[in-house]
Amino acid sequence: MGKFSRRQFFWRAGAATASSILLKGCMGYSPEALNPIPPIAQTPGGRWVAKPAPETPQITLGYFPTLAAAPLIIAQEKDLFRKYGMSEVVLIEQTDWTAAQAQIRQGSSREGLDGGQWSMPLPYLLYEGLGSANNRRIHLYVLAKLNTQGQAIAVSNLHKAQNLALNLNNAAEYIKTFSLTQGRRFRVASALANISPSLWLRYWLAAAGIDPDTDVEWANVPIAEAIQGLSNGSIDAACCSDPWSQHIVHEDIGYIAALSGDIWPFHPEDYFALRAEWVDRHPQATLAILKALLEAQQWCDRPDSRQELAQILSRRQYLNFPAYRLARTYQGKYWMGNGKRPLDRSDRSPFYWRDERGSSSFPYKSHELWFLVESVRWGFLPATAIAQAPQLIDTINRQDLWRMAARALEIPDPEIPTSASRGQERFFDGTLFDPEDPLAYLEKLEIKRLS
């Protein structure tokens, strides 16, 4: 699809003014005014103090066996949930995003989930009723990021000779003409068609002029099936969460073409979100859960915690993965496979509390805007979603509650972001995303399709 003028985009997006489309307008909304919840009080000295016990000690949370789940697992294992009055937190492992969506629609009252680990932009797609047979909307509040970075694009060993890498320019024709010799298009895999692993793959391909919708075909399968497909040759490349990319290399199934942190340094990965109705009914319990989560994230990021963290996550009931491999990943030491030198970059490991760009826990609205823009780019959301982004983000993002929890924990002011935006973001191909002007970003992208 060719470029189009900003005027044309406004026409496509509906009768919206420029100021309503820019995130600057989004920043002008007051989430506290939209969602008044009084879970804490302020002392005359300005410190935030928790009110009495949570309304309930019970909640059921879902998590996936990836490094992104570490804060939830540590909050449970270190009794941090219990410390803040949430003594009956149940963590339930998930292996399939479609099933997880069904569970969150049910809620724990019907043996489902109240919230947990979510990949973007699922909270927004669920709010729009997408992925449901009856278009039933589910309102989640995004309360925190769980981590930054922590994914990789793995390629089957069948393509060793091509040595696919971050820059695919030299391999673009090989991928585009794959069907001429193999009888099928080059096949890529993601856990779901419209979540962050898919978006990393799409960005990687499109940066080299490979159309993700016409030049390749997709397999949307759980990670276990993706790994099996890489092994038997039915899948050519897949985006995998840590630590499964390292499993692929160690088992000589494939090699690493790129880390997601190479595509977008310090990118947001998974998020913590709860059903809005649960939060609205349980403001004290929500604050307690957030305090436990933030404390766990701080613990996870301490260098002297990393060995113990790897040991805990390696347990059979969690990741069931060798602890020494997890420890290497936390050091930024990645085996790349295919004769490539091992990567040794601590700035490419997952982060839970702080990274070089700021907070790894605070849910910046500018990041959620990027996920919405990319969803529009690929036709997962209509173009009107950008015009509606300010109101939509304020309806779902509850960074006000994150700040309340941080102040209740007496986290130093420099570690509590004052802006809803992390600022401009630069991708590996030089493309700049300015949250003040998302349309300029969208216009620069050569390959896109809008619904």
Answer with the one of 242, 264, 286 that is the final residue of a domain: 264
Which residue range forms the structural domain that includes residue 248? 151-264
pLDDT band at residue 191 under the 50/70/90 scheme = very high
Question: What's the pLDDT tens digit per position in 265-283?
Answer: 999 999 999 999 999 999 9
Are 200 and 235 in a shared domain?
A: yes
Write down the pTM of the prediction.
0.89
Within this chain, do residues 284 and 309 fall inside the same structural domain, yes or no?
A: yes
State the pairing for strand pair 432-433/237-241. Answer: unpaired
Q: What band does 133 get if pLDDT is binned at 50, 70 and 90?
A: low
Model confidence at 26: pLDDT above 80 = no
pLDDT tier at 35, thresholds 50, 70, 90: very low
Q: Of 264, 280, 305, which residue sits at a domain end?
A: 264
**Same domain, yes or no, for 286 and 212?**
no
Positive or negative: CA dihedral 260, 434, 375, 379: negative
CATH assignment of the domain containing 172: 3.40.190.10
To which H or E segment does residue 59 belong?
strand 58-63
279 DSSP 8-state letter: H
Whether residues 396 and 356 fall in one domain = yes
Q: Is residue 330 part of a domain?
A: no
Instruction: State residue 121's pLDDT score.
Output: 97
* Residue 432 shares a structural domain with residue 299: yes
Within this chain, do residues 124 and 173 fall inside the same structural domain, yes or no? no
The Cα-based distances of 208 to 34, 42, 80, 434 in angstroms read 42, 53, 46, 22
Longest distance between any two alpha carbons in the chain, whole Å: 74
User: 226 in a domain, yes or no?
Assistant: yes
Instruction: Examine the pLDDT at 20 and tell me if it is beyond 90.
Output: no
Within-domain flag for 426 = yes
* 334, part of any domain: no
160 plus 85 within the same structural domain: no
Residues 117, 204 within the same domain: no
| In-domain check, residue 337 | no
279 in a structural domain: yes
- Asked if pLDDT for residue 335 goes beyond 90, the answer is yes
Q: Are residues 271 and 260 in the same domain?
A: no
Please report the beta strands in 266-359, taking only residues with DSSP state E, as ranges in sequence order: 270-275, 333-334, 343-344, 354-355, 358-359
Task: For residues 34 and 90, state if they share a domain.
Answer: yes
Strands 343-344 and 88-93, by their bridges, are unpaired
Within a domain: residue 331? no
Domains identified in the chain, total number: 2
The pLDDT, as a whole number, for residue 10 is: 30
**206 and 274, same domain (yes or no):** no
Domain boundary among 264, 287, 307: 264
- 432-to-221, 278, 280, 414, 444 alpha-carbon distances in Å: 31, 38, 37, 26, 9
Confidence category of residue 427, pLDDT binned at 50, 70, 90: very high
- Residue 327 included in any domain: no
* 240 and 181 in a common domain: yes
